Structure 1
Amino acid sequence: MDTATPAPHVMVLPFPAQGHVTPLMELSHRLVDRGFQVTFVNTEPIHALVLDALRLSAAGTGTSALPDGIRLVSVPDGLAAGDDRRDLSRFVDELLRCVPGHVEQLISETKVKWLVGDVNMGMCFEAAVKLGVRVAAVFPASAACLGTLFMVPQLIEDGFFDDKGFPKRNDSFEVGPGMPPVCPSQMPWSIDGAHEGQEVAYRLVTQNTEAARRHAKIIVCNSFRDAERAAFEQFPSILPIGPLFADAELCKPVGQFLPEDTGCLRWLDAQPDRSVVYVAFGSFAIFDPRQFKELAEGLELTGRPFLWVVRPDFTNGDLSKAWFDEFQERVAGTGMVVSWCPQQQVLAHRAVACFVSHCGWNSTMEGVRNGVPFLCWPYFVDQFANRSYICDIWRTGLAVSPGEDGIVTKEEVSGKVEKVIGDEGMTERARMLRDAACKCLGEGGSSSENFCRFVDLLRE
């Protein structure tokens, strides 16, 4: 590149949650590889978590904690230090009120030409446009999910929802043939708590989607054509550029909120090929102690080696520490429990046979990219539609079935793990989907071509 020409500078703005920061950080690395400068904007609490995790990961390695070419900055999220950010209704209310003004100020100080913004931060798009900054929107979930949001006015007209987003019908619907069915009570704004909170979430989601349609010069998503052919045919304005990942060696930091336990990679090295059950439920899912115990004992019951990610806040009750310590002693020769791990490296490892997952879209794409079959255990919102992709459309996994009391038993866990690992047809379909993803990302592939189009636009 001509050194006299300054690198084009873009601002990247994810929604403040792990499943949003990761793909936008991966996208940022790819932009840096194409000669861009990136200012990456997190809310203050997320910024602090990412910096701490980066420093801990870099400790003792002699390398810089900060990603090359990416400047990390922060804005307030409107909440005080001790406030509960899992209270989603209050969280989104404060985001809506507080963040756009701070982002507007940051844009005017940074003097960028483009805001590469998460669709879920669409509340900031108007401020960017007002300052003469163009918007490129990124949707970190499936094209089917975004397409469904585009259809909300029609779905209200068809009687599925009232004008505040509350379901009026219980039956599932298909936005189009070949797309996963959607349940009206499992929309992106469907959160637990008071009615007012769900109304706030509905307003946020629908306003953000409308802002993306109105202000974005391009909308890209972390998916690939062969994964969602029907969705991309029905919604041609959504361009797939995925599956996103930072680099071929999986070494570049992707904005983790917790320090990664890399010791699990050495443990995996000692396991036979396609033997390990990998279990991870993302950054948000919470299990009650009874369900936690059933899952633990189900993994033990398989008799297989397993790697299980148990976040410090994974249970919402009084799980007996003595019981868990005793469990870990019992499985010490077979199972490994970590608080967080480098998931992409784990899923790329030859030892992994099966992914027990909440089916968040990032995890889904990471599993798909590595040809790993799934045992699906969705927690909320779009994860149920992602389960449908995995189990019904791609046929690369099975789903757990809770009992009448809502609990997934240890026998169910163990039995379904065995079925997934033992199904050669499922394993072969997972490999074929992996190969399709690689082809889309390769030279001349649809994701590669769309990414080039995206980059060319950002250079304008």
Structure 2
Amino acid sequence: MGHKAVASDAAAPHVLVFPVPAQGHINCMMHFATGLVAAGLHVTFLHSDHNLRRLGDARAAPAADTPRLRFLSVPDGLPDDHARAIGGGIMGLLESLRTKGSVAYRSLLASLVRGAGDNSNDGFPPVSCVFADGLMPFAVDIAEEIGVPALVFRTASACSVLANMSIPRLFELGELPFRSGDDLDEPVRGVPGMEGFLRRRDLPSYFRTCTENHTDPMVKMLMDVTAHSCRARAVVLNTAASLEGSAVAHIATHVRDVFAVGPLHAMFPAPASNASLWRADDGCMAWLDGQPDRSVVYVSLGSLVTISKEQFTEFLSGLVSAGYPFLWVLRPDMVGASESAALREAVTSAGESKARVVGWAPQLDVLRHRAVGCFLTHAGWNSTVEAAAEGVPMVCWPFFADQQINSRFVGAVWRTGLDMKDVCDRAVVARMIREAMESPKIRASAKALARQVRCDVADGGTSAVEFERLVEFIKNLSTSGGSKRAFLQNGGFQSKLY
């Protein structure tokens, strides 16, 4: 996509981008920040202190090649040895950010509005707009209280956001809560536009723990943040018309404005050093170079999933039985050290030419490599759109959050892969890998979708046009908010704790 500067440095708005400090949220919001910089805006990207220390080389001062992008941080309120969101602990992280991190966030944002922060000599004008992760409503509310216009960025798929918006309707129709013994293959009619293919098992994972009085904490939190998003000035989604046009259209009826501006990684490549909390093993690329075209199964279950010993055993046996070389990303915290050792022993016995195991991989480079034939994935939204944009067939083994509904789109809507949810059986793993690697229909569908996504993100495409509209929206907000910010910069705001 070509990039046009839309503002001079002197007049450019200054946007603060604040993701939930988890890898998947950081990834797409970093690409978003890169796009804003390419459009001529100043961007402050707000990490947690913990993650900025992990990144190491993403310093607070602007880099020479991107002088309008800088990195600051606030505490997340958790001790350094806390696992954060790994293994499903996202609720604890979000609560700590709300109750503890929000205090530092308020203070930092107020200083950046006044232009009196430690980095005021960077040449950055006062902050004029905030983009906050939709899972952190406090970040929007605090910005608006201070006098800074704030928008919501949702890092999940549009289809899952729409499912969350539909929770009250699902209760009205009696499709929630699930009851003991309910057939998970029963159709779901309460999510608009998905009546023809959505089943109970395809709803986001937390729907399975719903109760009559909505007391499940995750479901309550999602209902709250979704209602908050509907009241925000606008909602930004990392998606494209070709992927989720119907869902975006339905969302538009519930929110003040919506921008579908993705897949952002395909529009605005971002340096990995600014985003990845793990150091990638680049040696896997040389290993891929030695494999035949479309012969390798790439396996990655993302940055948060953990698996049991039993799942590990079935999964590994299915991979080996499928008969294809495989590249498996096995994070050190995904299974115990003993499982890591066992896997490496299995790889050794299978032969180094048939398998490669790494702690983390440069996923975009891997998916673009000629040797990769299919992607065995947890169907997190970043991984899903990255594979879609490259035309790589998928086998989806979803775990939680939006992964269930994403995998249904892969298998039943786009038909670019297979959905293996709720099953962990070595025979099924092997069979689905073989089908994804060998099916001409799946590969043709994957390539056709990739062509359409490339049209969406190219100049004049739907996502590119939406991004340009969003930049104009930011500029207008920044202009209209100028008088209030001037008041604040002159001492009109008295800080209060959130």
TM range (shorter): 0.7 to 0.9
State the partner residue of 1:207: 224
Unaligned runs of 5+ in 1: 56-63
Deviates more, 1:262-271 or 1:341-350: 262-271
Taking every aligned residue pair, what percent have the same amino acid on both sides?
A: 30
State the partner residue of 1:413: 429
State the partner residue of 1:333: 353
The alpha carbon displacement at 1:98 in A equals: 2.1
Amino acid in structure 1 at the alignment position of 2:145: K
The alpha carbon displacement at 1:287 in A equals: 1.4
State the partner residue of 1:269: 289
**Secondary structure, aligned partner of 2:15:** strand
Amino acid in structure 2 at the alignment position of 1:292: F
Do structure 1's residue 220 and structure 2's residue 224 form an aligned pair? Answer: no
The alpha carbon displacement at 1:132 in A equals: 1.2
Do structure 1's residue 280 and structure 2's residue 282 form an aligned pair? Answer: no
State the partner residue of 2:193: 177
The alpha carbon displacement at 1:234 in A equals: 1.9
State the partner residue of 2:443: 427
Q: Write the deviation string for residues 369-408 of structure 1: whole angstroms up to 9, x where unpaired.
A: 0000001111112111011000000111112366xxx532
The alpha carbon displacement at 1:246 in A equals: 6.7
State the partner residue of 1:452: 468
Distance 2:347 2:26 in 1: 32
State the partner residue of 2:111: 109
Distance 1:80 1:91 in 2: 11
Amino acid in structure 2 at the alignment position of 1:347: L
Q: Write the deviation string for residues 7-49 of structure 1: whole angstroms up to 9, x where unpaired.
A: 3211001112111110000101111111111111122222222
Q: TM-score, normalised by structure 1?
A: 0.87
Report if aligned partners of 1:289, 1:318 keep a CA contact under 8 Å in 2.
no
The alpha carbon displacement at 1:345 in A equals: 1.0
Residue 439 of structure 1 is aligned with which of 422, 431, 455? Answer: 455
Deviates more, 1:30-39 or 1:73-82: 73-82
Q: TM-score, normalised by structure 2?
A: 0.81
Distance 1:190 1:147 in 2: 13
Report if aligned partners of 2:178, 2:208 keep a CA contact under 8 Å in 1.
no
Structure 1 residues 400 and 372 mapped into 2: Cα distance closer, same or farther (>3 Å)?
A: same
Unaligned runs of 5+ in 2: 114-126, 477-498
Distance 2:396 2:158 in 1: 20
State the partner residue of 1:59: none
Task: Name the Cα RMSD after superposition.
Answer: 3.0
Amino acid in structure 1 at the alignment position of 2:465: E
Report if aligned partners of 1:189, 1:205 keep a CA contact under 8 Å in 2.
no
Report if aligned partners of 1:246, 1:252 keep a CA contact under 8 Å in 2.
no
Structure 1 residues 401 and 155 mapped into 2: Cα distance closer, same or farther (>3 Å)?
A: closer
Q: Write the deviation string for residues 328-387 of structure 1: whole angstroms up to 9, x where unpaired.
A: 212312211110011011111111110000000100000000000001111112111011
Report if aligned partners of 1:126, 1:211 keep a CA contact under 8 Å in 2.
no
Report if aligned partners of 1:122, 1:209 keep a CA contact under 8 Å in 2.
no
Do structure 1's residue 307 and structure 2's residue 324 form an aligned pair? Answer: no
Structure 1 residues 381 and 198 mapped into 2: Cα distance closer, same or farther (>3 Å)?
A: farther
Structure 1 residues 101 and 186 mapped into 2: Cα distance closer, same or farther (>3 Å)?
A: farther
Do structure 1's residue 229 and structure 2's residue 245 form an aligned pair? Answer: yes
Structure 1 residues 320 and 124 mapped into 2: Cα distance closer, same or farther (>3 Å)?
A: closer
Residue 11 of structure 1 is aligned with which of 6, 16, 25? Answer: 16
Distance 1:250 1:372 in 2: 21
Distance 1:350 1:303 in 2: 19
Distance 1:240 1:456 in 2: 15
Report if aligned partners of 2:367, 2:390 keep a CA contact under 8 Å in 1.
yes
Residues matched between the structures, number = 441
State the partner residue of 1:61: none
State the partner residue of 1:151: 166
Distance 1:35 1:282 in 2: 32
Report if aligned partners of 2:206, 2:400 keep a CA contact under 8 Å in 1.
no
